[in-house]
Amino acid sequence: MPYLERPHHRLHYRVDASGHDKAWLVFCNSLGTDLAMWDRQADALKEQFHILRYDRRGHGLSSSPPPPFSMADLGADVLHLMDHLGIERAHFCGLSIGGLVGQWLALNAAHRFDKMVLCATAARIGTTQSWTERMKAVSALGLTPLLAGTVERWFTPAFVAEAPDVIEACVAAFQATSIDGYVGGCAALADADFHESLSSISCPLLAISGADDPVCPPSDLERIARGVANGCHLSLPGRHIVNIESAERFNQALSGFLGTETE
């Protein structure tokens, strides 16, 4: 399993790349998930793109430096991985906190990215108070008390009933998340607010919402799409983890927007 060693943490990543002359597509996972959240996208798109996935620090098999983290720290992890792999430019797709990492990258490393897909995210997610409370709770009691509420935010009841294996895998990834990694991510979320800078994002951007997402409702994604220079918004059935619940339509949208149709 490949890792990139950083001074205070290691990043686990996975590349799916065959053939030559394909654009790179980098995926960034959400809070309490790992790179497997993108399995359906990687399977559908790996013939069209070279795909880089990684476990955001403190998640999956990536270790955690001591919290707190900033969005700049999380963005720098992406740039270090791209440098390590000799990837000059890429498309980027991030969900939730991953979408905030995408906004940071679009603002601070625009020359490295062609198109951005930001999913189930916002220019600001939650409030400083809500993230501070969650950090305190997780530091004191761990992640287990958050489990039921998390599944409810992530998936509709119909999908929970219909795909128990998928839910089980997501729950396992959530429970395997390190406390430092989760708390560090919450700290980055508490501080991140890109409302004032959205208009400086110039790359083509697709914002995808889950129609029933209680965390980042469609209006948040619509606001991003309207706020940037070249944005559009698509809403798909599902809650927060919309790329899993509406995988097929999500893949079609991703492929169409990035310029290549899936079969």
Ligand X SMILES: O=C(O)CC1=CCC(=O)O1
Question: Which residues in this chain contact ligand X in the complex, by CB under 6 A?
Answer: 30-32, 96-97, 125, 150, 153, 189, 215, 240
Cβ distance to ligand X smaller for residue 188 or 204: 188
Q: Which residues contact 152 (CB under 8 A, 6 or more apart)?
A: none
Cβ distance to ligand X smaller for residue 53 or 240: 240
Q: How many CA atoms lie within 13 A of 18 on its CB side?
A: 6
User: In the 8-state DSSP scheme, what is residue 3?
Assistant: E
At its nearest, how many Å lie between ligand X and the CB of residue 187? 12
At its nearest, how many Å lie between ligand X and the CB of residue 211? 16
Cβ distance to ligand X smaller for residue 112 or 134: 134
Cβ distance to ligand X smaller for residue 48 or 62: 62
Cβ distance to ligand X smaller for residue 46 or 153: 153
At its nearest, how many Å lie between ligand X and the CB of residue 215? 5
Q: Burial letters for 177-186: b for 16+ Cβ neighbours within 10 Å, e otherwise?
A: bbbbbbbbbb
Question: Alpha carbon of 229 to those of 60, 100, 186, 203, 224: distances in Å?
Answer: 34, 17, 29, 8, 10
At its nearest, how many Å lie between ligand X and the CB of residue 261? 29
Reference 94, options 235, 233, 205, 246; nearest CA is 205
State the residue number with the nearest CB to ligand X: 96
At its nearest, how many Å lie between ligand X and the CB of residue 15? 23
Q: Which residues contact 23 (CB under 8 A, 6 or more apart)?
A: 49, 50, 89, 90, 91, 114, 258, 259
Cβ distance 175 to 226 under 8 Å? no
